[in-house]
Amino acid sequence: MQRRNFIKNSALAAAGIGASSLTFPLFGRNLAPNEKVLIGVMGTNGRGLEHIKAFTKIPNVEIGFICDVEDGARAKGINLVEKLTGKKPAAIKDFRQVLDNKDVDALAIAAPDHWHAPAAILACAAGKHVYVEKPCSHNPAEGELLIKAARKFNRHVQMGNQRRSMPHLIDAMQQLRNGAIGNVYFGKAWYTNSRKPIGTGKVIPVPANLDWDLWQGPAPREDYRDNLVHYNWHWFWNWGTGEACNNGTHEIDCMRWALGVDYPTRVVSAGGRYTAHDDWQTPDTQVVTYEFGPGKSFTWESRSCNNYPVEGSGRGFIIYGEKGTLVNNGGDDYTIYDEKNKMVKQGKDAAVTDTINPLGPGENLDGYHFRNFIDAVRKDTPLNAEIAEGHKSVLLCHLGNISQRTGRALNCDTANGGKILHDKDAQHLWSRAYQSGWEPKV
């Protein structure tokens, strides 16, 4: 697709209609409860391959399109679908060509973070339902726009915080609601890894198999460097959101779920890039504290470059109550202790979970969340991580990063979507600059 058509499509989306709505009804097909669901997957170098595995296990779901701007990643996705189903999907570089297809029901987005909300907004405008990986936005303003798009175009949008669909964690939250540990008032969570330095990147010619312009998409243009693709973009603010959104989303979401809170009153972050002197911009060490008015708070600790476990696990969370404690060790599990630290109840999935695997928790635990999304597309089943809830948790991650970047505690307006109060520098980071012609609008 030519550059002028890129701009044309963006302008159409900005007008609230989307290019695809010119050729078929805006809200796409009305599905019968058992009708085939046709899906396009965007981003298939890593996490998108897990999308493929999950969707191909659901009866009467077909992956018809593999979308990626890098030839090798497209080949990975195509080969995996063909291996699992015997059918070869179409290979598409520009995902917006998929949105033009009136038969496509949903877009699954596993591209880099800066693409999540803009692609999801375009998909909603084109009448497609959306499964979008965490974080659902690159900044708070995008999350607000995505909610607006989902409502305006009446689309199901599910974020990839899979723990919301894990049976034992659902049971754990019900135990808390039933008073298993009394009033819950504090939580702490952690994530550890042993990531290596990324060095100082050299500007080199863009590889022939990569469309660097389309890879950057909404982000302001930068030169291609040899230490960005495929993974290290996570640690650059122009495209990534750091470990807070990359992994913190999961446990921060669980703590918010457990404590029954939405928007914070105060957020403060401490940390930095401590373990190496290289191009890595986001913190490799970070502790964020969230306060939710009188009586409730939680903390999240990240050590990207030191994997010493907490409670014997590389990730997890603990919820403290007046009558006991609930501990999660990173997967679909929980253990409840009474006031004397005696174990009184436990729930645990039989599958072993690699808690720091960057591709996800495994096909079994992934499957619950993807099936919930397909049920919503087919039967209007309520989503377990509907985008309004997903946004609230991702917003907390963004606020932690904003506090870190400004070096100040943030005071937030709980009556106005967690907006930052009395700090112009921090408020400026609520949104971002975009490449001209790519600004997401609803």
Q: Where are the domains of the chain?
A: 3-163, 166-198+226-357+386-428
d(CA 296, CA 300): 14
pLDDT higher than 80, residue 347:
yes
45-91 residue pLDDT tens: 999 999 999 999 999 999 999 999 999 999 999 999 999 999 999 99
* Helix 71-85 × helix 47-55 angle, to 10°: 20
9-50 residue pLDDT tens: 433 333 333 333 323 334 456 777 778 999 999 999 999 999
Pick the CATH number of 166-198+226-357+386-428 from 3.90.1580.10, 3.40.50.10860, 3.40.50.720, 3.30.360.10: 3.30.360.10
Mean pLDDT value across residues 305-315: 96
Q: What is the DSSP letter of 196?
A: P
pLDDT of residue 32: 72
329-340 residue pLDDT tens: 999 999 999 999
**H/E stretch holding 132:** strand 129-132
Write down the pTM of the prediction. 0.91
Pick the CATH number of 3-163 from 3.40.50.720, 3.40.190.10, 2.60.40.3080, 3.40.50.300: 3.40.50.720
Q: What are the angstrom distances between the C-alpha of 309 and each of 162, 177, 304, 327, 361?
A: 22, 29, 12, 14, 17
CATH topology agreement for domains 3-163 and 166-198+226-357+386-428: no
pLDDT of residue 3: 35
pLDDT higher than 70, residue 208:
yes
Percent of all residues in the chain with a pLDDT value above 70, rounded to a whole number: 90
The model's confidence at residue 427, banded by pLDDT at 50, 70 and 90, is very high
pLDDT higher than 60, residue 119:
yes
Nearest to 373 by CA among 60, 156, 223: 156
Residues 6 or more apart whose CB falls under 8 angstroms from that of 342 comprise: none
pLDDT higher than 70, residue 417:
yes
211-232 residue pLDDT tens: 999 999 999 999 999 999 999 9
Chain CA centroid to CA 42, Å: 14
Overall size of the chain counted in residues: 442
